[in-house]
């Protein structure tokens, strides 16, 4: 066992000093006039070979973490060895007057872009050391102006690549976060319009991550079911487009749920009263149009007029209210017959049933998760023997049930008529822990007196309501 520990220590030590040793050795050989193609020595070959092998050994373990799609930054040792090998190649092919005099700048740009941003100054320092050695080999007598200009170019290149790379990384990450946020919001809006999620009062009482995952799964199931239904309808009835649009939670806009078409379909929100779709929404019955002009712009699910000649829209009715529109159109002059409109009504009914079925499954999944969380909370409280264990169990249960930023437990003493903060989890105001306050008109005191959850429906009015005291809102 001691030998294993000793071997591990030696290996870690060798790995720690190998990169600086290779870099310093290369700098010393360059400054001493070595590493020249016409006068290479055995020591130069050994030094370059050790550098290449060391670079390979450092790159392999650093890239093992990239199997999940994430690429870690370039190891500091690998960056310095890579830079040293670049300077060695430049020196071997003529140094500053050779054809590869600009190679160190390219290598420096690569290692700065791929390396850890916190170690950029170390890489820049190694570049300065190697640059001084290369200049020493080219100019036996010190040429301060030439060396200063060369070092300024090297440091400027490192700073420029660092700034541009980090700015681009920040821009890409910001764009990715924006796209992810917009996609999550679109999914939540779609789930809310299809009534897959909880009600407004319940939505604040569950972790958003679990709701997002559940909504995403439900939406995927709905899309998978509807795409086959709409494609079959389109092929059977020889349609150009067959699309299902659903009204949002505020009944102000229509949102595309699924479409079967070879044309570009509008994915943005469409006003509920726009064009032929608005007529279907207002009348609550099928609407058929024929002999349309090629430039007819009353079909808002197309971004531009598309030459449609015939249109049929069927309302999707749920709970005695129009919840969506099934739109179908053709680019020939065959109008939709009464039998075809009845077929579209059957398709709309089937689409509504698919959505209702997924809505039931989503509710069952939500109830199952709630029961699991409550069971775990009950079990943890039953096993708790001390006050700290009870508070820990309540904290874990609240985290599984309620999405929150701050969790505060208070205790009320009926003899003194005061409330005392016993436990605080999260980023709360300084001094909140162990705070005492009287039985006042705050929400905490009112909830204890009334023995009901407050505020009503979880909607706090900060202008007229306060939680603990007026000083601790």
Nearest of 124, 322, 347 to residue 235 by alpha carbon: 347
| pLDDT above 60 (res 158) | yes
| pLDDT above 80 (res 205) | no
- Could you report the per-residue pLDDT of 273-282, keeping only the tens digit for each? 889 999 999 9
Report whether 253 contacts 272 (CB < 8 A): yes
Q: Which two tokens stand for residue 344?
A: 């579209």
97 vs 347, more confident: 347
Question: Which alpha helices (H) appear in 67-143, and where do they start and end?
Answer: 76-92, 103-114, 120-138
208-364 fold: Beta-Lactamase (3.30.450)
Amino acid 395: pLDDT: 85
Lowest mean pLDDT among 48-52, 283-287, 368-372, 373-377: 48-52
Measured CA distances, 104 to 22, 153, 168, 212, 320 (Å): 16, 11, 23, 49, 74
Nearest of 51, 106, 114, 113 to residue 82 by alpha carbon: 51
Amino acid 34: pLDDT: 66
| pLDDT above 90 (res 314) | yes
Q: Report how far residue 402's alpha carbon sits from residue 399's, in angstroms, rounded to the nearest whole number.
A: 6
Q: Report how far residue 307's alpha carbon sits from residue 211's, in angstroms, rounded to the nearest whole number.
A: 42
Average pLDDT value for residue range 122-127: 82
* Half-sphere exposure at residue 78, Cβ-oriented, CA atoms within 13 angstroms: 20
Amino acid 286: pLDDT: 93
Backbone angles phi, psi at 334, to 5 degrees: -80, 110
Domain regions of the chain by residue span:
13-173, 208-364, 369-458
Average pLDDT value for residue range 433-458: 82
Average pLDDT value for residue range 316-335: 90
Dihedral, CA of residue 153, residue 155, residue 157 and residue 161, to nearest 10? -170
| pLDDT above 90 (res 217) | no
| pLDDT above 80 (res 445) | yes
Lowest mean pLDDT among 201-205, 393-397, 399-403: 201-205
Q: Which two tokens stand for residue 7?
A: 């071997």
Q: Can you say how many angstroms the Cα of residue 384 is from the centroid of all Cα atoms in its chain? A: 38
- Strand arrangement, sheet containing 321-330: 270-271, 253-261, 241-247, 321-330, 310-318, 287-289
Report whether 83 contacts 127 (CB < 8 A): yes
Q: Which two tokens stand for residue 381?
A: 């409280």
Q: Which two tokens stand for residue 347?
A: 């398709």
Q: Which two tokens stand for residue 315?
A: 């309302």
Amino acid 65: pLDDT: 47
| pLDDT above 90 (res 368) | no
Q: Which residues contact 241 (CB under 8 A, 6 or more apart)?
A: 234, 259, 260, 261, 263, 265, 301, 308, 327, 328, 329
| pLDDT above 90 (res 120) | no
Dihedral, CA of residue 453, residue 455, residue 456 and residue 462, to nearest 10? -170
256 vs 223, more confident: 256
- Could you report the per-residue pLDDT of 229-275, keeping only the tens digit for each? 999 999 999 999 999 998 887 778 898 888 999 888 888 888 988 89
CB atoms closer than 10 angstroms to residue 440:
13
- Could you report the per-residue pLDDT of 51-107, keeping only the tens digit for each? 666 656 555 554 444 444 455 667 777 777 778 877 787 777 777 777 777 888 888
Q: Report how far residue 448's alpha carbon sits from residue 437's, in angstroms, rounded to the nearest whole number.
A: 13
Measured CA distances, 34 to 23, 50, 92, 97, 141 (Å): 14, 16, 8, 16, 17
Average pLDDT of the chain? 78
pTM: 0.51
Measured CA distances, 30 to 4, 147, 155 (Å): 38, 15, 20
Average pLDDT value for residue range 283-293: 92
Report whether 91 contacts 134 (CB < 8 A): yes
Amino acid 276: pLDDT: 92
Q: Report how far residue 396's alpha carbon sits from residue 308's, in angstroms, rounded to the nearest whole number.
A: 58
Average pLDDT value for residue range 143-155: 81
At 408 the three-state DSSP class reads strand
Average pLDDT value for residue range 1-10: 59
């Amino acid at each position: 066992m001691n030998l294993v520990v000793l071997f591990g220590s030696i290996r870690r030590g060798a790995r720690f000093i190998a990169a600086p040793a290779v870099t310093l050795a290369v700098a010393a050989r360059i400054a001493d006039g070595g590493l020249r193609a016409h006068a290479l020595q055995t020591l130069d070959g050994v030094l370059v070979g050790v550098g290449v092998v060391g670079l390979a050994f450092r790159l392999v373990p650093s890239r093992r973490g990239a199997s999940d799609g994430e690429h870690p930054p370039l190891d500091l040792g690998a960056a310095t060895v890579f830079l040293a090998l670049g300077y060695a190649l430049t020196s071997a092919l003529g140094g500053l007057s050779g054809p590869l005099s600009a190679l160190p700048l390219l290598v420096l740009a690569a290692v700065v872009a791929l390396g850890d941003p916190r170690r950029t100054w170390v890489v820049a320092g190694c570049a300065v050391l190697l640059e001084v050695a290369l200049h020493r080999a080219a100019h036996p007598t010190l040429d301060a102006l030439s060396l200063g200009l060369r070092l300024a170019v090297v440091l400027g290149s490192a700073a420029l690549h660092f700034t541009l790379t980090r700015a681009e990384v920040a821009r890409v990450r910001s764009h990715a976060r924006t796209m992810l946020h917009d996609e999550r919001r679109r999914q939540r809006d779609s789930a809310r319009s299809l009534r897959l999620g909880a009600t407004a009062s319940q939505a604040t009482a569950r972790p958003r991550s679990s709701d997002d995952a559940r909504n995403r799964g439900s939406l995927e199931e709905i899309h998978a079911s509807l795409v086959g239904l709409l494609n079959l309808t389109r092929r059977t009835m020889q349609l150009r487009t067959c699309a299902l649009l659903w009204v949002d939670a505020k009944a102000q806009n229509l949102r595309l749920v699924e479409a079967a078409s070879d044309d570009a379909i509008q994915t943005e929100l469409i006003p509920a009263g726009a064009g032929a779709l608005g007529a279907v929404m207002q009348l609550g019955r099928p609407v058929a149009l024929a002999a349309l002009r090629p430039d007819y712009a009353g079909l808002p699910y197309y971004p531009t007029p598309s030459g449609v000649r015939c249109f049929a829209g069927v309302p999707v009715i749920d709970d005695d209210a129009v919840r969506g529109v099934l739109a179908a159109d053709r680019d020939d002059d065959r109008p939709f017959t009464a039998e075809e409109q009845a077929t579209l009504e059957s398709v709309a009914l089937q689409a509504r049933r698919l959505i209702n079925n997924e809505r039931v499954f989503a509710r069952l999944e939500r109830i199952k998760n709630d029961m699991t969380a409550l069971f775990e909370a009950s079990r943890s409280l039953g096993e708790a023997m001390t006050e700290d264990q009870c508070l820990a169990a309540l904290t874990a249960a609240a985290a599984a049930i309620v999405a929150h930023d701050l969790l505060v437990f208070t205790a009320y003493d009926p003899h003194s008529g005061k409330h005392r903060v016993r436990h605080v989890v999260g980023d709360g105001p300084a001094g909140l822990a162990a705070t005492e306050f009287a039985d006042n008109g705050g929400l905490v005191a009112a909830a204890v007196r009334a023995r009901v959850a407050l505020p009503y429906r979880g909607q706090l009015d900060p202008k007229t309501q306060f939680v603990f005291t007026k000083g601790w809102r």
